[in-house]
Structure formats: C-alpha cells, structure tokens
C-alpha cells in the first residue's frame, strides 16, 4: 500500500515547488512569522479552543463556574465508582512514606528523587511502568545550556508561546532547573545526540529564539522513559505495582492527604495505601477525545488524577486550554492522530498546501501553526482529501534530504521512517499528509513551585498540573516539565513526609463530593475516574 | 473539522481473522489492535501507546496454510485474511540489578550479569522475531566482544517488547542486555557536554537569579516588549 493515485498526482505538484522553497529557506527567505497581534486574531477565528458550544461551566468543586471542555466536565461531574463503606480503611495493605500515583516520566523522576531523600516509596500505576505520554514524546527537551542562550531567554520564549498567561514562578522554576536536569539524565546514561566532542546537538522548536532542543533521535521521550524506568528498578526502596490504578485519594481527619485506594484491574480487589505524602503524576486527558479529535496520547490518558485531586479539594488552572499538535498523521487511516514530531520542521521541512505553496512559518507556536492549517483546509480550501474524507496539508519531509543530504531523514527520524515504510511510504522521498491532532492538556491542577497543592501533603507533577505553560506549551517543554517538577515533587514530598503523622484514614471527602453533585441536581450514571477509554465495537 | 471530515466511511470489505483460534469477521483496513476492539475485546494488558514505541502489544501470528511464524505490533500491523493471532502481553525475562555508579563499560560487567549471552548460537531467530527489525543477534555479539558502542547503537530503537526473549533458544534476555549497554555507553564512553557543566555551575552559583527574578516581576506590557526585541538564531 502507498498513496492512492489522486494523492500521487498532487505530490507531483509538491515536487515541482520543493527546490525553490528549499533555496529560499536557505537564504533565510522563509514564509514570514506572524506578529503577536495577527497570531492572536488567527487563534480566535480558527483555534478549536475558541469554538462555540464545546465547553461548559463546572457546577461543583473549587473551580465552580470555570469553563472546561464538555468531555472533561463529564468526568468531573460524575460519581465515584466506589462506596466508602465497601472499603475497610483499617486494613492497610501498603504503609509507605511517599505514594506516587502514575509511573510515567514525572512519577519515575519523583520516585527516584524521593528515594534519594530517604523515603520509602510506592509507585502505583494503571498500566505498565512507562506506559505514558513521556514514552511517546519524540522530538526533544529544551534547556538553555549553550553560551548564546540563557534561562531568561528560555523564560521569554515559553511565555510568548503561552501568550503571556504562564504562571511566572512555575515557569522560572522550570527554566532554572533545566540544565541540571539534562546533566542528571546524561549521568543516568541517556544517549543524547551529541557532536564527537560532546557538544549537545540542538535544534529549534516552534517559538524558540535559540536552538535549545536536545534530542535522542526521534525517540527522545522513549529513551528518557526507559532509562528512568531502568533506574527505578535498581532501587530497593521503590516498589512499583502495575495494573493497580488509584480510584480515590484517602485523607485523614486533619484534611491532609494520607494515601489512596488502589484497585487491581484484573481481579477487582481493592488495596489501601497509607502514605505520609502523595504525589499525583497521572498525566493528561487526551483519551477523552476533546471535540471528537483523534489524539496522539497513550491508552491511559483519561484524566484520572484530575478527578482524584479535584474531589480532594484542589482547583484547576487553564483547564479550558487544549493543545492540538499541528502535525498529526491523517494518512494512512490506521495511523490517524499519531504524532509527527515538530523536529521534522526543526530539521528543515515545510508545510505546503495542495498547490505546493507555503502558507505559514513552519515554526510558529503550536496553537498558531494549527490554526493556520485549519484555515488552509477549511476556509481557503487548499487541503488534500483522503478516501475517508479527511482533509489535510503536506509536511514535506523530503526537503530535509535536499537541505542536509540524502539519508538524513532516515538517520534523524528512524522511528517515523519505519512507521511509514510499514505502509509503503518512504518519507525521505514522499511528503506526509497531516492535520492537527489532540496532543496535550495545557492546564491542570493548581500547584506551587515546589509542586504542593491546596490540599496538605498532596503534591502534583507533570501534565496533570497546570500553569507552567499557560494556555499553550512549546515543544520540548513537556519532557522538561515532567523531569523538573517530578524531581521537585520527589524532594518536597520526601521532606514533608519526615514531619507528617498520619491520623485516622477517611473517605469522607467522596461522600461530600457526591452530596454536592446531588445538591446542584446532577443526576447521572457516569462514574469516574474513567481508567480506560472504551473502543469496543468501534472502527475508528 | 476533524470530527466532521471523518464521517465519510468508504470501507465495507471484511475479512476473517482468528483471535486465539476463534473466528471473527472484521473490516479489512483495521490494525490488529483495532480489530480486537472491534470484535469486542477491551484491553487491560497488551495495549500502551498505540503508536508503535512502547512495546506493550507484541503479537505473533500465522497465516492459514503457512508454517511461518510472523511477529508484529498489534497497534501497527494491519490485519490480513485468515490471520491466526495471539498477543503476548507479558513474557518473563531476568533482569540483573546494577548500580551504574560502581561499574565500568567493560565486557566483564556485562558477562557477570548476563553470562548466558556467551551461549548465543548465532541462529538469528532474535532478529527474525523483532518487530523493529533490529540486528538483535549483532548487538548481542557486539556486547559479547565488549563493543558497547555498537551494541548501544544497534539496539537504540529497541522497544523492549520481549519477542526476542520469547524465541531465543539460548534463553538470552536481549533487551535487558541492550539497555545496560546503552546506559554504560552513554554514561562512560560518550564525551560529556562541557557547555552543560559550565551552565549548571553558573546556575548553581546564582548567576542568572537576579535577571530571572526581574523577569518574574515584570508586567505583561514590559514582557511583550522584551519578547518582541528577541533576535532569532538562524536555522
């Protein structure tokens, strides 16, 4: 299988403009970047976040009155799947200093740091250790570690990408810790792309003013994730339980967080964890398919930690802002929604329409880039249609080989090359058809720069938290976020655990939440956390 | 938008497949993973990233009438008519504990932990059972020779799905050997980034603290001014 004839026909047009566009780009004669003002206008008109009828105000909880996507409101305004009475909290199955819920990048980094600070750690996760969006991150991780760069430049770039809405303190913490995190990963044995003298090979990402994107091929997240996982497995004081998601937090009579109820997905059995401090590191909500979009996210991205934290008394920030990655696969159909890393554009490929012409600067911040693609397809009608009726534009990857020499695409993007070759498409010679895909939850539970929350003894790190990226995250700041704040959470939670005395365990907050739902007239069969999405019987 | 454009479905052709021996009829364009879901299975195990990088959905299959055993990732492999398939969501593999700090990138360190690599029969079954088509036998042989650089580079795209381990007649745990080689190579043999050390030291000494705290205190108008002033490093 390869592209069908009509698409092959159109590719000829793309080939005819390729050399000229590459030449222009080489001379620095790129399609111009939009001004802040024009970018803002484009967003308001075309970005899915601004589409009418896709959000509603929350009726319960600390963030009552805030607008969030309907699909997300559905899991927040839902009843807990457990009755407090059916769980015997006096029967403690695990008694630990720090409980980490979630075993992706943030959870693993937190577990390592907490253990190093002397804590006995339990990690509970719903799938396997490492089944997380961290594993899927392709293009890179930002850090201002070169002479011509600085943490403040990194701060400014990320702030512009987030339309100046980012929490300043959180963002400053992230850019400040970034180089140290890269050094930590280098020391753990992550195979970063380097020059022979050890200099990190860095590229631009959308919205960066300096080349600070560090990478490990196009499997940067996988390389980081498997290294962290391997290291966690080396540590005796960290126990990992898989296929046992947390279904509720536990508090004690002081109102502090004191553990969680886990449920074995295969046997249904509940376990009670008593912990002095708890870290939520469960990732985001991609599998809720906001507005029906396909997603790049892993199977378990169902917003569970947001439900747990909100019921326990946390509030949200920026939960109305979703990130649509500009370049999601729309052909072949089997791969719809999968990510094509921004590094493909960082390395020199451009987006072109059905006429083979550019229509947007290739490295705008993601929300702007996505909005321009949507406009090109649906207002200007310059997209290309697949047999299943999807419409997209071309990401012209062969430009990279024209620019850097034959073989570059295969060498720099081995995973993507392989993925397309499985369907008979050689991306070093043929472009990829793309359309924006649901990629990231910009917002999340509100945290301080040590990852603490409004609930005592509860910490939150990674995609499940909100504020660092404001309304729009830049590429390479998510792998950074999970490692920086994962480490901060581990340190803070272990330190706090030394002074906490856990009282009597209770699930009263669940009962209170259910009462609040009833009091505002929410009658529904919905229960949450969702744990896994349901694709049974579906084709898509 | 996306949700509207996908309404047009042209796919109606169906094929028979056999999930753990049981017959199902499913649309012919589906991946193994989507075919299982279409048939009524809800995954707990055997499904992770759904994008071909996590190694959760290793699958073995035979086509009717063929002796040949094939492998693939359920999320990446499109079904074929008369496919007899079973997923292998978990396969036991020994993992040797190690403290990287106390090790050197020497062949003895590998052999001490995974002596069975010396039993490699050079049968190449591991490569044939790798859904990533990696040169698994070659990287095991490289590890055996102490060529950690080669072992690291040849195994870089390993997704640790375990199919190699399931088929190896010498009972080698390829992917665990591979990650140890990669970590040792990256930690001890790749040159360190000097600019990184310098920057970390500067940050620890507080060199950027003042500037950063000034930015933190600026209002949006000042920040927008600073943002617009940025020069962009050439691509």
B161: nearest Cα among A185, A141, A135:
A135
ipTM: 0.95
Which residue is closest to B219 within chain A, CA to CA?
Answer: A164
Check A189 against B182: CB less than 8 A apart.
yes
Domain boundaries, chain B: 14-87, 100-188
pLDDT mean over B30-50: 95
Which residues, 6 or more positions from A398, have their beta carbon under 8 angstroms from its beta carbon? A18, A349, A409, A427, A428, A429, A430, A431
Q: Which residues of A touch B76 (CB under 8 A)?
A: 334, 419, 422
Q: What is the pLDDT of residue A540?
A: 61
pLDDT mean over A369-378: 97
- Could you tell me the CA-to-CA distances from A478 to A369, A483, B157 in Å, in that order? 18, 8, 22
Contact A436, B1 (CB under 8 A): no
Check B49 against A136: CB less than 8 A apart.
yes
Q: Which of A48, A128, A197 sits opposite B191 (nearest CB)?
A: A197
Catalytic residues of A: 325, 345
Q: Which of A227, A296, A388 sits opposite B8 (nearest CB)?
A: A388
Smallest CA–CA separation between B65 and chain A, in Å? Answer: 23
Contact B122, B135 (CB under 8 A): no
Check B2 against A210: CB less than 8 A apart.
no
Which residue is closest to B204 within chain A, CA to CA?
Answer: A180
Q: What is the pLDDT of residue A112?
A: 98
pLDDT at B104 over 60: yes
Check A145 against B44: CB less than 8 A apart.
no
What kind of fold does domain B14-87 have according to CATH? Ubiquitin-like (UB roll) (3.10.20)
Report, at the CATH architecture level, how domain B100-188 is classified. Answer: Orthogonal Bundle (1.10)
Q: Which of B30, B43, B53 sits opposite A135 (nearest CB)?
A: B53
Alpha helices by DSSP H, A454-533: 478-497, 508-519
Q: What is the pLDDT of residue B6?
A: 46
DSSP conformation letters of B7-19: T------EEEEEE
d(CA A329, CA A349): 15
pLDDT mean over B27-50: 94
pLDDT mean over A215-240: 96
pLDDT bracket for residue A240 (50, 70, 90) = very high
Place of tokens 């970005």: A47
A166: nearest Cα among A422, A477, A415, A436:
A477
Which residue is closest to A176 within chain B, CA to CA?
Answer: B203
In 10 A of CB A87, how many CB atoms? 20
Each residue of A77-133: pLDDT tens digit?
Answer: 999 989 888 999 999 999 999 999 999 999 999 999 999 999 999 999 999 999 999
Q: Which of B34, B88, B152, B235 best tests the A interface by mutation, with the highest count of A CBs <10 A?
A: B235
Q: What is the pLDDT of residue B12?
A: 67
Q: What is the pLDDT of residue A1?
A: 65
Residue B60: CA atoms inside 13 Å, Cβ hemisphere, count? 16
The three-class DSSP label of residue A29 is coil
Tell me if the bond preceding B220 is cis, omega within 30° of 0.
no
Q: What is the pLDDT of residue B2?
A: 43
Smallest CA–CA separation between B218 and chain A, in Å? Answer: 9
pLDDT mean over A424-447: 97
d(CA A453, CA A450): 9
Report the DSSP beta bridge partners of residue B72.
Answer: B59
Q: What is the pLDDT of residue B5?
A: 44
The chain-wide mean pLDDT, for chain A, equals 96
Which residues, 6 or more positions from A38, have their beta carbon under 8 angstroms from its beta carbon? none
> At A433, phi and psi to the nearest 5?
-90, 130
Check A387 against B10: CB less than 8 A apart.
yes
Each residue of A18-47: pLDDT tens digit?
Answer: 999 999 988 888 899 999 999 999 999 999
pLDDT at B4 over 50: no
Each residue of A261-313: pLDDT tens digit?
Answer: 999 999 999 999 999 999 999 999 999 999 999 999 999 999 999 999 999 99
Check A172 against B215: CB less than 8 A apart.
yes
Place of tokens 């650089």: B149
The three-class DSSP label of residue A247 is strand
d(CA A403, CA A25): 9
Place of tokens 């909880």: A61
Q: Which residues of B touch A144 (CB under 8 A)?
A: 199
pLDDT mean over A441-449: 98
d(CA B233, CA A272): 53
The chain-wide mean pLDDT, for chain B, equals 93
- Could you tell me the CA-to-CA distances from A234 to B75, B94, B99 in Å, in that order? 30, 13, 7
pLDDT at A415 over 90: no
Check B97 against A233: CB less than 8 A apart.
yes
Which residue is closest to B12 within chain A, CA to CA?
Answer: A539
B87: nearest Cα among B106, B112, B61:
B61
């Amino acid at each position: 299988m390869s592209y069908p004839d009509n698409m092959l026909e159109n590719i000829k047009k793309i080939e005819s403009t390729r050399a000229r566009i590459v030449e222009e780009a080489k001379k620095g004669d790129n399609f111009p970047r939009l001004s802040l003002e024009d970018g803002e206008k484009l967003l308001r008109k075309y970005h899915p976040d601004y589409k009418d009828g896709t959000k509603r105000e929350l009726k319960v909880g600390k963030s009552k009155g805030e607008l969030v996507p309907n699909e997300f409101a559905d899991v927040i305004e839902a009843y807990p799947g457990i009755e407090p009475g059916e769980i015997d909290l006096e029967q403690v199955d695990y008694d630990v200093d720090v409980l980490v819920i979630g075993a992706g990048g943030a959870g693993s980094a937190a577990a390592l740091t907490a253990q190093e600070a002397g804590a006995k750690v339990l990690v509970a996760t719903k799938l396997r250790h490492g089944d997380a969006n961290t594993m899927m991150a392709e293009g890179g991780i930002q850090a201002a570690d070169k002479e011509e760069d600085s943490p403040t430049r990194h701060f400014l770039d990320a702030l512009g990408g987030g339309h100046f809405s980012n929490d300043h303190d959180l963002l400053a913490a992230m850019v400040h810790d970034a180089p140290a995190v890269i050094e930590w990963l280098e020391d753990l044995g992550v195979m970063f792309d380097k020059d022979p003298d050890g200099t990190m090979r860095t590229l631009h990402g959308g919205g960066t003013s300096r080349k600070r994107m560090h990478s490990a091929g196009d499997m940067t997240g996988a390389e980081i994730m498997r290294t962290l996982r391997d290291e966690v497995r080396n540590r005796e004081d960290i126990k990992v339980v898989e296929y046992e998601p947390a279904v509720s937090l536990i508090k004690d009579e002081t109102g502090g967080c004191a553990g969680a109820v886990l449920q074995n997905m295969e046997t249904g059995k509940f376990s009670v964890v008593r912990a002095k401090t708890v870290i939520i590191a469960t990732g985001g909500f991609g599998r809720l398919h906001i507005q029906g979009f396909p997603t790049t996210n892993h199977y378990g991205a169902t917003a569970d930690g947001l439900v747990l934290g909100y019921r326990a008394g946390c509030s949200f920030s920026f939960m109305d802002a979703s990130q649509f990655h500009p370049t999601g696969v729309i052909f072949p159909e089997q791969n719809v929604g999968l990510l094509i890393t921004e590094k493909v554009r960082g390395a020199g490929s451009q987006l072109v329409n059905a006429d083979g012409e550019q229509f947007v600067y290739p490295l705008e911040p993601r929300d702007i880039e996505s909005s321009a693609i949507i406009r090109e397809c649906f207002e200007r009608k310059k997209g290309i249609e697949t047999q299943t009726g999807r419409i997209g534009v071309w990401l012209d990857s062969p430009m990279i080989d024209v620019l850097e020499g034959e073989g570059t695409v295969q060498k720099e993007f081995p995973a993507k090359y392989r993925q397309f070759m499985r369907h008979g498409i050689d991306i070093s010679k043929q472009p990829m058809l793309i359309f924006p895909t649901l990629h990231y939850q910009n917002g999340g539970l509100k945290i301080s720069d040590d990852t603490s929350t409004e609930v005592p003894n509860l910490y939150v790190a990674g995609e499940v938290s909100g504020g660092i990226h404001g309304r729009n995250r830049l590429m390479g700041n998510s792998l950074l976020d999970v490692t920086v704040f994962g480490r901060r959470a581990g340190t803070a939670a272990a330190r706090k655990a030394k002074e906490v005395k856990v009282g009597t365990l209770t699930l009263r907050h669940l009962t209170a939440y259910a009462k609040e739902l009833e009091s505002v007239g929410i009658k529904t069969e919905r229960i949450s956390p969702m744990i896994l999405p349901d694709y049974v019987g579906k084709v898509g | 938008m996306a949700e509207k454009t996908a309404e047009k479905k042209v796919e109606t052709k169906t094929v028979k497949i056999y999930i753990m021996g049981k017959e199902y009829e499913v649309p012919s364009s589906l991946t193994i993973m989507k075919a299982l879901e279409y048939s009524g299975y809800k995954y707990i195990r055997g499904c992770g990233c759904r994008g071909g990088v996590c190694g959760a959905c290793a699958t073995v299959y035979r086509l009717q009438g063929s002796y040949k055993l094939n492998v693939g990732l359920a999320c990446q492999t499109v079904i074929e008519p008369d496919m007899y398939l079973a997923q292998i969501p978990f396969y036991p593999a020994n993992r040797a504990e190690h403290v990287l700090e106390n090790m050197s990138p020497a062949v003895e360190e590998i052999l001490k932990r995974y002596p069975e690599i010396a039993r490699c029969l050079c049968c190449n079954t591991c490569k044939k059972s790798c859904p990533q088509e990696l040169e698994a036998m070659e990287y095991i042989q490289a590890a055996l020779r102490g060529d950690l650089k080669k072992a690291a580079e040849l195994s870089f795209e390993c997704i640790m799905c375990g199919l190699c381990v399931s088929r190896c007649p010498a009972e080698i745990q390829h992917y665990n050997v591979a990650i140890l080689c990669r970590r040792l190579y990256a930690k001890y043999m790749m040159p360190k980034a000097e600019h990184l050390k310098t920057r970390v030291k500067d940050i620890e000494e507080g060199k950027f603290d003042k500037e950063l705290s000034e930015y933190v205190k600026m209002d949006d108008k000042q920040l927008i001014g600073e943002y617009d002033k940025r020069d962009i490093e050439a691509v």
